Amino acid sequence: GAGVSQSPRYKVAKRGQDVALRCDPISGHVSLFWYQQALGQGPEFLTYFQNEAQLDKSGLPSDRFFAERPEGSVSTLKIQRTQQEDSAVYLCASSLDGAGNQPQHFGDGTRLSIL
Amino acid sequence: TQLLEQSPQFLSIQEGENLTVYCNSSSVFSSLQWYRQEPGEGPVLLVTVVTGGEVKKLKRLTFQFGDARKDSSLHITAAQPGDTGLYLCASREAIGSNYKLTFGKGTLLTVNP
């Protein structure tokens, strides 16, 4: 498809387990963003990549959250030792350039439930 | 980080009715975006407003940016069930050469047939 693809769509994990969420951005898009959307809230910024460089990670809630984009395309958001408060929808967005001139295109998200 | 307040939080109306939802901030927006998010999907950009007093129309949707660029409204005429969704406003905040989006909590609209 031509859009941003995220997998898995749903993930259930027990508290304390590690999880990995994948984002396939639109081909050729330079910028990639991760957002967290709790139930009944708007999305909140987590981190930003320009190509393979992580230029901003100010929104990551704790050091249990880690994101990477090693080849400048696919990105993975990893959460270690998951807690119940990590339950949320994790959205990935990509945009064509790195200067904010193009809109962010969102994937449909991964819904993470921590039991 | 700019704080965006959206109202109402929930809105349930009948097909054919008109409605207006609001987005406000205590500080000036450089620009403002409106998104619609349907259940199980990501937000989809509807419009970007930049200039104070600007009005943009998208079919039955009318977007207005306040003169002081601190508030915006979205008016839907003759709402249809397909308009159901979460309406989010978002401001852009610079991060280096790019922008991150700061969203309000949204207005959850239900249009009943």
Give the closest-approach CA distance of B89 to chain A in angstroms: 9
Helix H, strand E, coil C: the string for A10-32 is: EEEECCCCCEEEEEECCCCCCEE
Q: Residues B38-44: what's their mean pLDDT?
A: 95
pLDDT digit string (tens) for A26-49? 999 999 999 999 998 999 999 999
- In A, minimum Cα distance to B43 occurs at A106
Please report, as a single letter, which amino acid is at residue A1.
G
* Mean pLDDT of all residues belonging to chain A: 96
Q: Residues B9-37: what's their mean pLDDT?
A: 95
pLDDT digit string (tens) for A48-99? 999 999 999 999 999 999 999 999 999 999 999 999 999 999 999 999 998 8
* pLDDT tops 80 at residue B107: yes
| Confidence label for A1 from pLDDT (cuts 50, 70 and 90) | low
Which residues on chain A are in Cβ contact (under 8 Å) with B90?
42
Q: CB–CB of B103 and A106 under 8 A?
A: no
Which residues on chain A are in Cβ contact (under 8 Å) with B30?
none
pLDDT at B2: 73
* pLDDT tops 90 at residue B95: no
Tokens of A91: 């959205």
**10 Å Cβ neighbour count for A114?**
19
Q: How buried is A99 (Cβ within 10 angstroms: 0-12 exposed, 13-18 middle, 19+ buried)?
A: middle
Please report, as a single letter, which amino acid is at residue A25.
P
pLDDT at A57: 95
| Interatomic CA distance for residues B97 and A5, integer angstroms | 25
pLDDT at A88: 98
What sign results for the dihedral spanned by CA atoms B82, B88, B92, B93? negative
pLDDT at A62: 95
Q: How buried is B6 (Cβ within 10 angstroms: 0-12 exposed, 13-18 middle, 19+ buried)?
A: buried
* pLDDT tops 90 at residue B71: yes
Instruction: Find where tokens 């859009």 sit.
Output: A3
pLDDT at B17: 98
Cis peptide bond prior to A25, omega within 30° of 0: no
